[in-house]
Amino acid sequence: MIGSRTPKVAAILATMLYSAAASAQTIVDATDPSALLRIAQQYGEARLETDEYGDPIIIGAMGESNYAVEFYGCSNGRQCEELLFRAGFVTKDFTEREMAEWNRTSHFGKVYIDKEGDPSIEMDVILTGGVSETNMIDNFDLWAQAVGEFRRFIGWSK
């Protein structure tokens, strides 16, 4: 009889250990800009500033691409709920047809033509309730990948 219970006990213990490890993950959200800044700094130069509305904004560079991470859904510059990653590229050779092609074929990073006629790429990240630090790092990885692919798509270089 003891032998038949051993697999059940082992399964219960494994589940308990997995649950404890999962709950020990660091949770990040947009209420702690400094935690997000530390992640951004793993990808290159980044600094935390305040935008014209009093909300946090991270200004950074990944390789040769400058970008911003804007904080939204804030209350008095704090308790923010979402992020908008944004990068713009100065080139007059980008057309609406190319924009439509990118938006149709690319899963991450939506593109538009800004008021100066230059292409910009954006990616929204909702952080209400928080996400694991691993998930946030994955979002930065996706952003870096999307910006790199977009640069190649438009043939942009500094």
d(CA 87, CA 59): 10
Phi (first) and psi of residue 46, to 5 degrees: -155, 145
Q: What is the pLDDT of residues 14-55, one digit of tens each?
A: 554 454 455 568 999 999 999 999 999 999 999 999 999 999
- Domain residue ranges in the chain: 27-154
Q: What is the pLDDT of residues 95-147, one digit of tens each?
A: 999 999 999 999 999 999 999 889 999 999 999 889 999 999 999 999 999 99
pLDDT band at 3 (very low <50, low <70, confident <90, very high): low
Question: Residue 144: which of 39, 27, 26 has the closest Cα?
Answer: 39
d(CA 50, CA 23): 32
Domain 27-154 has CATH 3.30.1490.100: no
Burial class from Cβ neighbours inside 10 Å (0-12, 13-18, 19+) for residue 54 reads exposed
